[in-house]
Amino acid sequence: MKLLLTISYVGTRFHGFQSQPGLRTVQGSFQEAAERLFSKKLLITGCSRTDARVHANNFCLTAETADGSPLPAIPPEKLPLAIAPLLPPDIALLSAKRVDDSFHARYDVEYKEYVYIILNRPVRDPFLADRAYHFPVKLDAFLMDCAAKKFIGRHDFSAFMAQGSKVVSTVRTIKSFDVVRDGETVRITVSADGFLYNMVRILAGTLVAVSEGRIEISDIEKIIASGDRRLAGATLPPDGLYLNRVVYRQTPPEN
């Protein structure tokens, strides 16, 4: 029996999700709290790696005992309140349920949704420092949305991957890609069956380049086909990026 846990975190003071020796990570901080709660060594598997400074509204992970012994019988719905005093203020456990041992937090993802927030006004907002990318020149959200639609579907996204990344396949399927303006904020929402390293931040940078007239919408197809990272837009900073939602292939059985 495993637990499927949904957490939320402010990424600013973490070196990403995945444990790294000597660095403050979400996995490390969460694992420490959960091991204290359960008085057991745990094995934690995340749905994704997120980079340093990237946030999560809903990040999924599983927890199981490292030695295969049963977890203490705390009802899952009581876990969010039980673990709260043990977690640092920048992580919260939102919900928990039991899942079958066959369930895998990463391999069973059907799609993930990321949001990229741009504060689009001349003056910055101290409440959004580290929580949005500040772009002072007016963006054309409608044009960006039109450009976003060109990415939808199954493509080789090598042109939108940080150089030097090693992956078996660079083919991904973008399911939806929307840009909307809400007052002084431009909100980019993209969902896909998987993302390459820095892919959302490069896609967001490409949409900004479209708004600025440095990339034409009619060139997007060619840029995708080229596989040439240099033709896509800049990699925007991590501060505006949120893992917003993870959808699994099947509703994990609650047992």
Q: Which residues are catalytic, by number?
A: 51
Interaction with a second copy in 4-23: which residues (CB under 8 A)? 8-10
Contact 208, 244 (CB under 8 A): no
HSE at residue 200, side-chain half, CA atoms within 13 A, is: 30
> What is the contact mask toward a second copy in residues 82 to 121, using x (rule: CB under 8 A)?
--x----xxxxxx---------------------------
Helix (H) or strand (E) holding 33: helix 26-38
Binding test (CB under 8 A) with a second copy, winner from 68, 123, 166, 169: 123
Does residue 237 interact with a second copy by CB under 8 A?
A: no
Q: Which is nearer to a second copy, 121 or 149 (CB)?
A: 121
3-state SS assignment for residue 199: helix
The C-alpha atoms of residue 228 and residue 159 are separated, in whole angstroms, by 5
Does residue 32 interact with a second copy by CB under 8 A?
A: no
Does residue 65 interact with a second copy by CB under 8 A?
A: no
Does residue 137 interact with a second copy by CB under 8 A?
A: no
Contact 130, 201 (CB under 8 A): no
Q: How many residues bind a second copy (CB under 8 A)?
A: 23
Measuring CA to CA, which residue among 177, 165, 145, 170 is closest to residue 155? 170
For the CB of residue 129, give the shortest distance to a second copy in the complex, in Å.
4
Token digits of residue 7:
């957490």
Helix axes 141-149, 199-211, angle to 10 degrees: 130
Does residue 224 interact with a second copy by CB under 8 A?
A: no
Binding test (CB under 8 A) with a second copy, winner from 32, 51, 130, 219: 130
For the CB of residue 4, give the shortest distance to a second copy in the complex, in Å.
16
Does residue 75 interact with a second copy by CB under 8 A?
A: no
Instruction: Give the Cβ contact number of residue 78 at 10 Å.
Output: 10
Q: Which is nearer to a second copy, 43 or 129 (CB)?
A: 129
Does residue 168 interact with a second copy by CB under 8 A?
A: no
Q: Which is nearer to a second copy, 138 or 249 (CB)?
A: 138
Q: Which is nearer to a second copy, 33 or 92 (CB)?
A: 92
Q: Which is nearer to a second copy, 129 or 225 (CB)?
A: 129
Does residue 249 interact with a second copy by CB under 8 A?
A: no
- 91: which residues sit within 8 A by CB, 6+ positions away? 7, 8, 9, 26, 29, 30, 33
Location of structure tokens 């939602």: 245
The C-alpha atoms of residue 81 and residue 199 are separated, in whole angstroms, by 35
Chain positions contacting a second copy, by CB under 8 A:
8-10, 55, 80-81, 84, 89-94, 122-127, 129-131, 136
